[in-house]
Structure 1
Amino acid sequence: MRYAMMICVDESEAGTTTESSDDNGMQEIYAWFEKWAGAGKIADGGAELQSVSTARTVRGAGADRSVTDGPFIETKEAVAGFVILEAESLDEALEVASTWPGLSYPSVAVEVRPTVDHSGDMG
């Protein structure tokens, strides 16, 4: 089964690290991907997202459609990226997610959710 692993951060904490620690953090993330891809647990590498300041939200359709700046979520945390995991169970997906290197920062959280498979619905 596939699970979405969403990496959530408090963007107000951005910029509080040094360039050296950022480089080390990226090396840890690359090693994490290498480890779990080799174990067959990464179904899709996902993507890192730009800041919420670049986001736009669409609501409604047709004449009722509106586009606004930002996500306007009532939370400090925003999704900064995602990975699609392949795991036998939610517990296994949580085991993989709990090793995410960014969890050493207090402003980082990882949310894991099963995905819905619509592949049989297309024909």
Structure 2
Amino acid sequence: MRYVMILTGDEAPWNDPEIAGPLMEEITTWWGKWFEAGKLEEGGAELAPSAGAKTVGRGPDGAPTVTDGPFLELKEVVGGFIYLQADDIDDAVAVASTWPCIAALGDRVEVRPVMER
């Protein structure tokens, strides 16, 4: 079955090269391990900082409105997503629980089944 890992956390540490550099090396190693094991799919994305985002919503008159940045003032934002191939949700969670940013930064990973229509 297909699942997605939704990666969330604080963006601030990624601005520090002493944190980001070694962590990216860990992530590259993590990616290689799980890709070779057949648990990761091509695709997914690392997202640019949320400061460059635009949020589209419904305004008071029902027409779309656009605001700069994320909709809410949050410390944790979505930083990216990764597609998984797993036997079941427990298998997907087992892979997600090894995501390096959980231990290093206290980030969170949401695991969801992908809708196949």
**TM-score bracket for the superposition, by shorter chain length:** 0.7 to 0.9
TM-score norm. by structure 2 comes to: 0.85
| 1:7-26 correspondence to structure 2 within 5 Å | 7-15=7-15, 17=16, 19-26=17-24
Displaced runs of 4 or more, over 6 A:
none
TM-score norm. by structure 1 comes to: 0.81
**Structure 1 position 97, deviation (Å):** 0.4
**Structure 1 position 108, deviation (Å):** 1.1
Pair 1:114 & 2:91 matched? no
| 1:1-123 correspondence to structure 2 within 5 Å | 1-15=1-15, 17=16, 19-60=17-58, 64-73=63-72, 75-118=74-117
Aligned residue pair count:
115
**Structure 1 position 107, deviation (Å):** 3.7
- Unpaired runs of 5+ in structure 2? none
Identity of aligned residues (%): 44
- Unpaired runs of 5+ in structure 1? 119-123
In structure 1, what is the Cα distance between the partners aligned to 2:80 and 2:86? 19
